[in-house]
Chain A
Amino acid sequence: MSRWSLELVVDPIACDGRGVCAEMLPERIELDRWGYPIVDGDTIAPALIDHAERAVRACPTQALHLVERQC
């Protein structure tokens, strides 16, 4: 049986390192020493999906994406 999961992807070209995402989703996003988000490819837990979606919408450069992946 195939399952679908949600994960965060940063478009590093669009990202300006404003840091809004890390403020809105500190559970999953931290900033590196230059202020750019560090995002791993782990599945977003159901309890965090709303927060993740808000972080995606809040990104001023639309660099953060929530993508569906088959796992």
Chain B
Amino acid sequence: MSLTLSSDAKTAPQAGRRLLYGIAGGAPDPGLGTHMERWGELRPQRHLIDELEASGLVGHGGAWFPVSTKWRAVAAGGRRRPVVVANGAEGEPASKKDALLLSHAPHLVLDGLMLAGSALGAQQAIVYVPAGRIPLVEAAVAERRAHRLDPIAVEIAESADTFISGQESAVVNALSGRRGAIPGFVGLTSIRERGVGGRPTLVQNVETLAHVALIARFGAKWFRQVGTPDDPGTMLLTVHGPDGPMIVEAVLGTSLRKATGLRPEDVARSQGVLLGGYGGGWVTPATFENLQVCEKATRRAGAALGAGVVALLPPDVCPLAEMADVVRYMERQGAGQCGPCVHGLADLADAMERLAYGGASGPPPDRMLEICNLIERRGACRHPDGVARFVRTGLHVFSDEVTAHQRRGSCAKTHAARALPVADRTASRRLVSKA
């Protein structure tokens, strides 16, 4: 294979299409040749963490935590050399953006991982992805090895096919060969100090690493050319609308509805919009129409953008049945380690099912809100917190249905086909009616 390694940095893309630059629409070519042609060679960066701080980049695995703060904590984490992990587990069934990035632009992710490894002086670099993504990552790693691109050998580890497998301490437990991919208690220690094999560890989402690869090439100033001072740059969204799941790159601070490409009439017809997936929250169509691509604004609206899931709930399904199925799914996806989460999610799922499927005099919403209050911040991870937000916002957005179900029991739509994907993660499900 002939490969030209350009020594000139390529022209930085000017519009809001960055991670998806050159890969949307056409057939995927995840090869190194295309990558180099598109982005140019990666030069070693001496002050990358400062540049990341100036860029304002935050993590896009869901937590929105400042990247430079995390990297500095790992760098200061101890005397042992760190481990860097590219986290592509993407356990959220409604999120597909990490999968797209790994299949269409794996070298951007691997560039980011190598930059993290170099900046932190790491001894080990691991890509943590579901089984289905491993062949593509292997091929990309082999190409790079052939061209001696990487200063650190890249290992590939398979992530478990569960909702919580990508949670930071679950990743560390899986990679340390302890107890499988389930969260650990990090209340007294930090993964940044004691992670994989007891070493300081950076676990960073694959999209975040891809942003790092572009900031290393074009700088913080370029990164801030789009977005707002408080919310710079872009993020990937997985949008579930009438046309099926789509990945879009959204400029932060702009209209969320416009960024998703969803038509105003489809939004208006929907019953509600789920933001941030099953650990996120519901907003009304009217609220959605006025939101920006901004985590703070979304949190003020009671939801969370998290890892960027946006799902319209179509008019012909029962929102409470959808919620009941998701809460039961989340209960089963729990690690089963923490009492309040085990009991609270089971009680919540029971109550939601009685409300959705049962007869008249279903459980009052106050009973469910009480459980939400009891489980928040009481798990080793944030799994119960996410379910609490999902339920609390759903009961509010769908309050008319709640009242109707309490009075008359399950509705005509209760047994319609489900819109939100839960049990079967691979089948493509309809999220909005074509009507």
What is the interface of chain A, defined by CB distance below 8 A to chain B? 9, 11-17, 32-36, 38, 65, 67
Closest to B339 in A: A36
For the complex, what is the distance from the CA of A69 to the CA of B345, rounded to whole Å? 31
Q: Select the stretch in B151-159, B183-191, B261-269, B417-425 that faces chain A.
A: B183-191
For the complex, what is the distance from the CA of A65 to the CA of B185, rounded to whole Å? 12
Name 29 A/B residue pairs within 8 A (Cβ), A-sorted: A9-B188, A11-B185, A11-B187, A11-B188, A11-B380, A12-B337, A12-B338, A12-B339, A12-B378, A13-B184, A13-B337, A13-B380, A14-B185, A15-B338, A15-B339, A16-B339, A17-B339, A32-B340, A32-B374, A33-B374, A34-B339, A34-B340, A34-B343, A34-B344, A36-B340, A36-B343, A36-B378, A65-B187, A67-B188
Q: How many residues of B contact A (CB 8 A)?
A: 15
For the complex, what is the distance from the CA of A49 to the CA of B184, rounded to whole Å? 28
Q: Is the interface of A mostly helix, strand, loop or mixed?
A: loop
Known pairs A17-B339, A34-B339, A36-B339; A12 contacts B185 (CB<8 A): yes
Q: Which residues of A contact B187 (CB under 8 A)?
A: 9, 11, 65
> Quick check: is B16 within 8 A (CB to CB) of the other chain?
no
For the complex, what is the distance from the CA of A13 to the CA of B339, rounded to whole Å? 8
Contact B380 A12 (CB under 8 A): yes
Q: How many A-B residue pairs have CB under 8 A?
A: 42
Closest to B183 in A: A13
| Known contacts A12-B339, A36-B340, A36-B378; 10 further A-B pairs (Cβ under 8 A) | A11-B185, A12-B337, A13-B185, A13-B338, A14-B185, A15-B339, A32-B340, A32-B374, A33-B374, A35-B339
> Quick check: is B227 within 8 A (CB to CB) of the other chain?
no
> Quick check: is B363 within 8 A (CB to CB) of the other chain?
no
Q: Which residues of B contact A65 (CB under 8 A)?
A: 187-188
Closest to A12 in B: B338
For the complex, what is the distance from the CA of A67 to the CA of B184, rounded to whole Å? 18
Q: A11: shortest Cβ distance to chain B, in Å?
A: 5
> Quick check: is B379 within 8 A (CB to CB) of the other chain?
yes
For the complex, what is the distance from the CA of A43 to the CA of B374, rounded to whole Å? 21
Q: Which residues of A contact B338 (CB under 8 A)?
A: 12-13, 15
Q: A55: shortest Cβ distance to chain B, in Å?
A: 17
Q: Which residues of A contact B339 (CB under 8 A)?
A: 12, 15-17, 34-36
Q: B388: shortest Cβ distance to chain A, in Å?
A: 14
Q: Which residues of A contact B344 (CB under 8 A)?
A: 34
